[in-house]
Amino acid sequence: LGPSPPSNVRVSQNGLNSLLVTWTPSQGPNVNGYTIYYHQIDGGLSGSVTDAETDTSVVITGLASGANFSISVSADSSILSSSRSRGPDITIQYEKVAYPVENFEVISVSETSLTFSWSQPSTAAHLTTGYNLTCVPLLTGIPVPQPLPLLAPTLTSATRSGLFSGVPYNCSISTISDRGSSLPANLYITTNESAPSGSPEMLGTVPGEREVEFSWSPPPVTERNGVITSYTLSCSPSPSSLPHSPTSQSGPHTVAGFSPNTHYSCSLVASNTRGSGPPANTSFNTQPDYSFFQLRLGKVPTSCSEEISSERSLKLEHITAAVVKELK
């Protein structure tokens, strides 16, 4: 006679794609093992595994999540096998974790917004309750934009607006489920540049007779709208050396070509690849030219015949001490 079938066959899920089958051993003689049969009720996979006579459990792997299986166990001997003892049917549940989106890409870039598209997770998409899309600036001083509300699970595209021009961002999207969030999918993208919206900060001027030293700092980082590539200085009345375009972005810069004892109004603009921003303005008077007073320390001439600068070709003759005193 063959062995009696095992009893109390139980089936439980053992991870994402496997089942744990347990049973009470057969009471029949000559049992030398067990055969566990599995069949996918909704079509597909069927098969069996064998187990040693002393075992009372086995793990069946490689099964499909979401599939419904029937399980049965028979006791085997060298003569014949018992009838099968069937356990309860079981559906392998999807693991309740969030799976990342697929094919995350940027499809549109503007000066202040980025538009993205993606595909829903290929695994356990029905567990998705929404998506979390964030963009973090990679430039110091740029504020992080306010987070978007949770995106609907049916969406496959979205626009992140309210960004700054010409700024690199790390943008990521995570799938949200009732168990938490998935690992993010990331993209690094820079918004399009626009002309600066802010002016440089004029830190000061040091006027001389024919040279003036200018100092400034770049526009605020939130108003540069890209990489500042140049500055242009212009003045009215315009010296021969202007407009002047310093090659560096830090001062001080000494500019020649000014006239002595003259009032000037000057402006400085910052530029990037898309244009120039508003000007920073300043005004000043250059120093008078006292070069014709070539007086020796401690000696007041009662008369002199001195040629002043070649540009004037003037002579002073018989200047009295009183006149010199008045001029001083």
Domains delineated in the chain: 7-91 (2.60.40.10), 102-190 (2.60.40.10), 201-285 (2.60.40.10), 293-328 (no CATH)
Fill in the amino acid letter for 247.
T
Query: For the chain, what is the mean pLDDT?
Result: 84
Mean pLDDT, range 135-159, rounded to an integer: 94
pLDDT per residue as tens digits for the range 59-91: 998 888 778 999 999 988 887 888 888 888 888
The number of beta carbons lying within 10 Å of the beta carbon of residue 103 is: 10
DSSP codes joined into one string, 48-115: EEEEETT--EEEE-SPPTT-EEEEEEEEEESS-BPPPEE---EE-PPPSS----EEEEEEEE-SS-EE
Please report the pLDDT score of residue 322 as a whole number. 38
What kind and span of H or E run contains 325?
A: helix 321-327
Least confident of 38-42, 122-126, 239-243, 321-325: 321-325
Mean pLDDT, range 12-27, rounded to an integer: 87
Note the pTM of the prediction, 2 decimals. 0.62
Rounded CA separation 49/258 (Å)? 97
3-state helix, strand, coil in the chain (%, to 5): 5, 45, 50
Look up residue 319 and give its two tokens: 């200047």
What is the CA 307 to chain-centroid distance, rounded? Answer: 68
Rounded CA separation 81/247 (Å)? 92
